[in-house]
């Protein structure tokens, strides 16, 4: 679904590249975490997928298309296939929940009847039934992020990019958001989430891609936030160990949250 081939992105000739010869493939329906310190290149990765920036060298493929070859007037079509969620929600403060989600459909010319049918359905998916007429300031942070997620997926994109979606939220609320993202992923949407939140990564046990100074230093399936020595046997033992730890940690909590979501 997303494929990077030796992608390098240089913002400033004098500084080190933001991404340095990154080769990476994320399959359809996969859930991947992008982790790494600030400035490691996570946001640049997401920007390149959206064609907000152009790769200095190398090729970025999204849904089989080389984004460098998409002409500027077709970029909107690329972006319709990608939903984006941010740390700061980015809701429109003067519009209510329904209108915020409907906005994403209005601007691409969906008919009123389709909007009336689809929006409540999506709001139900993110767990916001009955709150259609609330204004963003009347919602909690977690609820606002759910509105943002609803807006990102209302046009049924194949890919959902999340740039630290839980960065402004407390751990319990964050787990609720993760439940929503997991559900969306299970409906077939490829999810790429950039995050600093180690608890979440440890509990989700999904693929982890770690970036450092623009280089992929780790790419593991069902992995943890903290770096593991990439020896097959040892990593399995670590995983098992963390698996055993989980019952005292967040996993049951996550399960409960997940249940509450559904």
Partner 1 sequence: MRLAFILSEIGSGLRRNLSMVVSVILVTFVSLTFVGAAGMLQMQINQMKGYWYDKVQVAIFLCGEGSTAPGCASGPVTPEQQQGLNALLESPAVAQYINDFQFESKDEAYKHFKDQFSNSPIVDSVTPDQLPASFRINMKDPEKYQIISETFSSQPGVETVIDQRQLLERLFSVMNGASLVAVGIAGVMIVCAILLIATTIRLSAFSRRRETGIMRLVGASKTVIQLPFILEGVIAAVIGAALASGTLWAVAQFFLGDYMSRQYPDTAFISSGQTLILAPALLVLGGSLAGISSLLTLRRYLRV
Give the CA count within 13 Å in the CB-facing half-sphere of 239: 17
According to CB under 8 A, which one of 37, 68, 107, 221 is a site residue for partner 1? 107
Is the dihedral angle over the CA atoms 155, 81, 45, 199 positive or is it negative? positive
- Return the number of other C-beta atoms located less than 10 Å from residue 254's C-beta: 22
Binding mask 136-165 for partner 1 (x = CB under 8 A): ---------------xx--x----------
Alpha helix (H) residue ranges in the chain: 42-49, 75-80, 97-106, 112-125, 141-153, 171-186, 198-204, 232-245, 251-261
Kindly state whether residue 68 participates in binding partner 1, applying the rule CB under 8 A.
no
Closest approach of partner 1 to the CB of residue 158, in Å? 12
Does 63 contact partner 1 by CB under 8 A? no
Is 239 among the residues that bind partner 1 (CB under 8 A)?
no
Stretch that binds partner 1, among 17-25, 70-78, 201-209, 225-233 (CB under 8 A): 70-78
Q: Which of 78, 99, 135, 215 binds partner 1 (CB under 8 A)?
A: 78
Whether the CB-CB separation of 197 and 169 falls below 8 Å is answered with: no
Please identify which residue in 76, 130, 188, 255 interacts with partner 1, judged by CB under 8 A. Answer: 76
What is the rounded distance in angstroms from the CA atom of residue 92 to the CA atom of residue 111?
21
Using rule CB under 8 A, residue 104 touches partner 1: yes
Does 212 sit near partner 1 (CB under 8 A)? Answer: no
Torsion sign (Cα): 58, 63, 65, 70: negative
Q: Where are the alpha helices (DSSP H) in 20-155?
A: 42-49, 75-80, 97-106, 112-125, 141-153
Cβ at position 218, least distance to partner 1 in Å: 29
Q: Which stretch binds partner 1 (CB under 8 A): 13-21, 58-66, 80-88, 170-178?
A: 80-88
Interface residues with partner 1 (CB under 8 A) are 50, 72-73, 76-84, 90, 92, 103-104, 106-112, 151-152, 155
């Amino acid at each position: 679904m997303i494929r990077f081939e030796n992608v390098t992105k240089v913002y400033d000739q004098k500084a080190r590249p933001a991404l340095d010869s990154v080769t990476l493939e994320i399959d359809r329906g996969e859930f991947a975490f992008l982790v790494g310190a600030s400035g490691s290149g996570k946001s640049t990765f997401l920007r390149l997928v959206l064609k907000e920036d152009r790769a200095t060298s190398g090729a970025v493929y999204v849904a089989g298309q080389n984004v460098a070859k998409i002409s500027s007037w077709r970029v909107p079509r690329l972006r319709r296939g990608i939903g984006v969620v941010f740390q700061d929600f980015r809701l429109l403060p003067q519009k209510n929940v329904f209108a915020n989600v409907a906005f994403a459909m209005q601007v691409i010319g969906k008919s009123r009847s389709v909007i009336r049918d689809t929006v409540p359905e999506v709001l139900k998916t993110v767990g916001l039934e009955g709150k259609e007429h609330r204004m963003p300031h009347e919602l909690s942070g977690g609820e606002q992020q759910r509105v943002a997620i609803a807006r990102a997926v209302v046009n049924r994109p194949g890919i959902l990019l999340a740039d630290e979606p839980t960065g402004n939220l407390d751990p319990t609320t964050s787990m609720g958001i993760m439940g929503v993202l997991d559900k969306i992923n299970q409906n077939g949407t490829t999810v790429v989430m950039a995050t600093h939140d180690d608890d979440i990564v440890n509990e989700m046990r999904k693929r982890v891609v770690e970036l450092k100074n623009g280089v992929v230093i780790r790419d593991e399936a069902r992995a943890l936030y903290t770096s593991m020595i990439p020896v097959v046997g040892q990593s399995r033992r670590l995983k098992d160990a963390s698996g055993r730890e989980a019952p005292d940690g967040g996993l049951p909590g996550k399960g409960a949250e997940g249940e509450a979501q559904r």
